[in-house]
């Protein structure tokens, strides 16, 4: 059990990778199931439900981890449910000190009871706006932008990319692909990515989580991703100077920068400042990393890759931005300066216009960290 210290809770945070359908309050899952007639939940007790999600997601396999989303997606099939989940998401993030968040979800997964893609996007947007307003009334200012995800095993990516462009001035910041990685390379969706580039739109790709370097390479060099979802496996393209591949070093997080040599792809990712959206607890659950102490994020930070800290799925990992930060402090030797650095990294990497990113850095993030001393 991680105990979050008040100093960490008070820090301003920026969250780029958080799934709307991975962040429901357990009590809301139970209530929505009741209201919408969903009867497949393993239990309706919120405490048991919270444990069920965490334990089921703890499988060490991305595919089994993803099975738990059947339950959350199952209760998010009406406008009212989507609006409520989005509103609570914005409020929960704000209460955790998050000042800017990009929250993603796959509109194509919310059509089971007859909603259109547009109704899904508009219901989520209405909920996010309501959540921002309620958070501000409670004394926490937050800005939340939606990212639209297409599922990599499906064939809707061009349609979803068009949806993201259509709503880009109404609360949608960009596009993503997610789902099981092995067998579904990002190049399957090349048409969608080429369309987005022609439209000057932004996108991130889940890559290098369950699957290795080829998926990272495709995401960047074929698809042109602005950012990588996770990208943990980039360490497979790094060598220990005197030894073998870093992926075989038990605790790469403890190596010094001088001990490490980068391959061409890793060097490219660092040279081009490609943001890595890492989520330590989630990466342990899916088997992409073995522990917080051994997580490559600490070495990558020392090597000055553009790393960011994220929650991925707060419900499945029983986590929050504050908990992820506290874990890195307690188990990987991070200090407040490191947290400040990754927070500014994240804000620089946001799918928001440059002047707005700068304003949040100068007016909110830096003063917040200065106050923390």
Name the residues that contact ligand NOS, by CB under 6 A. Answer: 19, 21-22, 62, 66, 69, 73, 104-106, 109, 149, 178-179, 206, 209, 282, 312-313
| Residue 189 marked as a ligand binder | no
230 is in an annotated binding site: no
C-alpha 41/C-alpha 60 separation (Å) is 22
Which of the choices ligand NOS, Zn ion, none does residue 22 contact, using the CB cut-off of 5 to 8 A by kind? Answer: ligand NOS
Q: What spatial distance separates the first Cα and last Cα of the chain, rounded to whole Å?
A: 27
Contact of 15 with 278, CB cutoff 8 Å? no
Q: Which residues are CB-neighbours of 367 under 8 A, at least 6 positions away?
A: none
- Half-sphere exposure for 181 (CA within 13 Å, toward CB): 23
Give me the least distance between CB of 313 and ligand NOS, in Å please.
5
Q: Looking at beta carbons only, is 162 or 312 nearer to ligand NOS?
A: 312
By CB under 5 A, is residue 102 in contact with Zn ion? Answer: no
* Segment lying near Zn ion (by CB under 5 A), choices 6-14, 124-132, 312-320, 354-362: 312-320
> Does the CA dihedral 157-38-283-327 come out positive or negative?
positive
Distance, CA of 173 to CA of 103 (rounded, Å): 9
Closest distance of CB 66 from ligand NOS, Å: 5
d(CA 237, CA 219): 15
A 10 A CB-CB count for 114 gives: 8
Shortest distance, position 291 Cβ to ligand NOS, whole Å: 18
Indicate which residue of 209, 218, 277, 324 is catalytic.
209
Two structure tokens written together for 354: 């440059």
| Options 312, 318, 324, 338; binder of Zn ion; rule CB under 5 A | 312
Say whether 209 is catalytic: yes
Residue 176 near Zn ion by CB under 5 A: no
Residue positions forming the annotated binding site: 17, 19, 21, 179, 206, 312
Residue positions forming the annotated binding site for Zn(2+): 17, 19, 206, 312
Binding site for Zn ion (CB under 5 A): 312
């Amino acid at each position: 059990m991680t105990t979050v210290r008040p100093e960490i809770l008070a820090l301003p945070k920026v969250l780029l990778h958080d799934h709307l359908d991975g962040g429901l309050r357990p009590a809301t899952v139970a209530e929505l199931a009741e209201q919408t007639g969903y009867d497949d939940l393993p239990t309706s007790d919120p405490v048991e439900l919270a444990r069920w999600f965490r334990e089921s997601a703890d499988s060490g396999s991305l595919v089994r981890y993803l099975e738990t989303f059947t339950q959350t997606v199952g209760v998010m099939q009406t406008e009212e449910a989507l609006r409520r989940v989005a509103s609570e998401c914005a409020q929960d993030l704000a209460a955790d000190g998050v000042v800017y968040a990009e929250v993603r979800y796959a509109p194509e997964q919310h059509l089971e009871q007859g909603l259109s893609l547009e109704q899904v996007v508009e219901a989520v947007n209405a909920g996010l706006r309501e959540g921002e307003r309620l958070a501000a009334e409670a004394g926490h200012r937050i800005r939340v932008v939606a990212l639209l995800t297409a599922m990599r095993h499906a064939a809707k990516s061009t349609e979803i990319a068009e949806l993201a462009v259509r709503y880009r001035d109404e609360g949608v910041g960009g596009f993503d692909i997610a789902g099981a990685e092995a067998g579904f390379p990002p190049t399957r969706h090349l048409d969608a990515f080429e369309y987005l580039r022609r439209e000057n739109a932004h996108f991130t790709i889940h890559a290098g989580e369950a699957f290795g370097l080829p998926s990272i390479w495709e995401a960047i060099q074929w698809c042109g991703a602005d950012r990588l979802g996770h990208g943990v496996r980039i360490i497979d393209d790094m060598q220990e100077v005197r030894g073998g591949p870093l992926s075989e070093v038990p605790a790469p997080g403890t190596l010094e920068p001088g001990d490490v040599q980068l391959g061409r792809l890793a060097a490219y990712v660092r040279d081009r400042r490609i943001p890595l959206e890492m989520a330590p607890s989630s990466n342990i659950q899916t088997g992409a990393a073995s522990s917080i102490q051994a997580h490559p994020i600490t070495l990558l930070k020392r090597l000055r890759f553009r790393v960011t800290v994220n929650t991925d799925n707060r419900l499945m990992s029983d986590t929050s931005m504050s908990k992820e930060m506290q874990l890195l402090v307690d188990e990987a030797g991070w200090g407040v300066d490191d947290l400040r650095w990754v927070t500014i990294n994240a804000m620089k990497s946001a799918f928001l216009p440059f002047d707005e990113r700068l304003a949040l850095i100068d007016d909110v993030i830096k003063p917040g960290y200065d106050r923390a001393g």
